[in-house]
């Protein structure tokens, strides 16, 4: 289900980008007063602005809905991981006891850090 919502979300994001790029800016209406507006009469006297704005608003509303759905899925996943992922106090105490049973490592003198900050020429 989450994958389906994610695919729809990505497609809606691409659609809203395309819809915004297809719409004309407000500066394009200035040319209509000089006789260039007759070519936009297919969608009415205002051109396709009303239709495109309504479709963009619808796609944006569905995009917001899919965003909320994806946030819900992410919250559910985080809750299921946090219940399993946090170790209990007993597990931490058992690990500390096992760490004390481990043998101490002997570091050779050539690798051991020296007391001086100045490197030696050995």
Tokens of 97: 């006891």
Tell which residue, 75, 64, 103, has the closest CA to residue 2.
Answer: 75
Query: Given the structure tokens 């497609």, which residue do they identify?
Result: 11
- Enter the DSSP assignment of 118: S
Cα distance between residue 85 and residue 80, in whole Å:
9
> What pLDDT, in 10s, does the model give residues 61-111?
999 999 999 999 988 887 766 555 566 677 778 888 888 888 877 766 666
CA distance 80 to 114: 48
What's the predicted TM-score (pTM) here?
0.52
Q: Where are the domains of the chain?
A: 2-24+40-100
Angle 49-85/2-22 helices, nearest 10 degrees? 150
CA terminus-to-terminus distance, the chain:
65
Residue 64 structure tokens: 């917001």
Distance from C-alpha of 64 to C-alpha of 60, rounded to nearest angstrom? 6
Q: What is the pLDDT of the chain when averaged over all its residues?
A: 77
Average pLDDT (35-41) is 52
């Amino acid at each position: 289900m989450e994958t389906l919502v994610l695919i729809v979300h990505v497609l809606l994001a691409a659609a809203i980008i395309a819809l915004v790029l297809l719409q004309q800016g407000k500066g394009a209406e200035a040319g209509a007063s000089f006789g260039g507006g007759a070519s936009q009469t297919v969608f009415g006297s205002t051109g396709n602005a009303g239709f495109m704005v309504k479709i963009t608003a619808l796609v944006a509303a569905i995009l917001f809905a899919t965003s909320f759905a994806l946030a819900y899925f992410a919250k559910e996943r985080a809750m299921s991981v946090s219940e399993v992922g946090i170790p209990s106090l007993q597990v931490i105490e058992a690990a500390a006891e096992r760490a004390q049973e481990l043998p101490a490592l002997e570091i050779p003198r050539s690798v051991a850090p020296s007391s001086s900050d100045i490197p030696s020429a050995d």
